[in-house]
Amino acid sequence: MTPVNIEGPGFDRWVLEQISAWGISAFTDIQTLAIKAGIADSVGMVVCAPTSSGKTMVGEIAVLCAIRRSQRALYLVSHKALADQKYEDFLKRFGDRASKPLASVCLSTGDREEGDTGANLLVATYERALGLILSGELSPRDAVIIADELQIIGEEGRGANIEILCTLLKLKGVSQFVALTATVENPDELAAWLDCKLVVSTKRDVPLVQEIWFRGEGRQLVFGADQSKQSKIGGSMPAVLTDVISHLLESKRGPILVFTETRREASQLASQYSQRRVRAADGIEISQQLELFSEPTESSDQLRENAERRVAFHSADLSPQERQVIEQGFVDSKFEVCFATSTLAAGVNFPFQTVVFPKLSYQWRDGSPRIRRSEYRNMSGRAGRLGLHPTGYAVLLPGNELELQHANAIILPENDRVASQLASLSMRRTILTLVASNISAPCARRPPEA
């Protein structure tokens, strides 16, 4: 890691003092490269690095410098849960909850609206931002745009709308465009399309050990290493999920995040595992906090009961207040196990040391039933918190030979390509979107000459 006295364009004493006040004493590899490349000096860039390598801080430096220049900042995120968290984080870092407030902060997700959309810093989901621009409620001209997890532009379904949004932002004349993306095969193409400088790092400051447990045996491979470096784990590995979690906790690998396919599955597994646990003082305290914010429903009752045993589930079924209590509980190390759907992997920053994949094939999903490499990268990237854990762990539990083959493939260092999804939209829809944005207008038919 690089000490905070690093030099770069626009990165002066004022910026350094602000970042030091956040408790940052050193920079990761990708942060160092971005600072030297001019992230603090309005340089547009595509920042490509592994999950949990510190890309978010790069975006926050761009936001900080935008506020200093009295420019508006728009922070785009992939999911509503992440938008909620970034809004709370930015209130403490820049807004009225900061020791020295620097800017007004707004949240807009469609489901939740906080503050004025004309605030200095707006946090929004990609789809919500597109709607605001098309309706004329938001003008991004001369603004600083931070596009988090932009590799989702290649996803089927939502990727096309995100591409339209990025196109509109380019045409509307933004001051600085900063794309934060996980490792992809073709970041140079993405940077060329966005007319941005490319900053790439393959270094993850907290090593990630990927383990595959199958039929009592285990093998492991450190993230970034090739297949020849895979090695066998000694001892017999448990196969039942509850035994797997207990084994990991006994091995001092907590706290643990277990990914589930559905919200129902998350709550069911949390209830099942919590039955093996005893009540704890920290958990009882969290349960009492939840009681203040929860309506008496079956879900809230179970959440409080699980919390007493330092177990939680995290899903869209929870209210924003319940999610905040749960999230703060993990930050304060009052939970040991969390069961959650993949939405949590989109960037919600919890200090998990281990993530567990109980299955690699999902029944209720479009397209391929197996977890895609890009999804696995994002989800496994939640393991290992800088400053808290020397190592992160991803434990995959394939249920059959086909899943075993898939597990062995997705832990390899190869990356996926980001490809345009606009072809999946009808041209009529694309043209109507552009017309609605006033970027283009329908042409009148030229009358025939006499």
Domain boundaries in the chain?
2-200, 208-399
pLDDT at residue 349, rounded to an integer: 67
pLDDT at residue 198, rounded to an integer: 97
Cα separation, 140 vs 143, in Å, equals 5
Each residue's pLDDT expressed in tens, for the chain with a length of 450 residues? 676 678 899 999 999 999 999 988 889 999 999 999 999 999 999 999 988 888 999 999 999 999 999 999 999 998 887 898 899 899 999 999 999 999 999 999 988 999 988 899 999 999 999 999 998 899 999 999 999 999 989 888 788 899 999 999 988 899 999 999 988 899 999 999 999 999 999 888 899 999 999 999 999 999 989 888 999 999 899 999 999 999 999 999 999 999 998 889 999 999 999 999 999 998 999 999 888 876 667 778 889 999 999 999 987 777 778 888 888 888 888 899 999 987 665 556 678 999 999 999 887 666 568 888 888 988 898 899 877 889 999 999 999 999 999 999 999 998 888 888 876 655 555 555 556 556 554 444 443 443
Check if the beta carbon of residue 257 is closer than 8 Å to that of residue 351: no
pLDDT at residue 447, rounded to an integer: 39
CATH superfamily of the 2-200 domain: P-loop containing nucleotide triphosphate hydrolases (3.40.50.300)
Cα separation, 190 vs 153, in Å, equals 10
Nearest to 343, CA basis, from 378, 388, 384: 378
pLDDT at residue 449, rounded to an integer: 43
Cα separation, 76 vs 347, in Å, equals 12
The CATH code belonging to domain 208-399 is 3.40.50.300
pLDDT at residue 157, rounded to an integer: 79
Nearest to 142, CA basis, from 177, 190, 103, 180: 177
What's this model's pTM, rounded to 2 decimal places?
Answer: 0.84
CA angle 320, 325, 271 (to 5 degrees): 95
Cα separation, 108 vs 117, in Å, equals 7
> Reduced to 3 states, what is the DSSP secondary structure of residue 9?
coil
> Do 208-399 and 2-200 have the same topology in CATH?
yes
Cα separation, 237 vs 240, in Å, equals 10
pLDDT at residue 348, rounded to an integer: 61
Neighbouring residues of 405: CB distance < 8 A, sequence distance ≥ 6: none
pLDDT at residue 177, rounded to an integer: 98
- Cβ of 216: how many Cβ atoms within 10 Å? 10
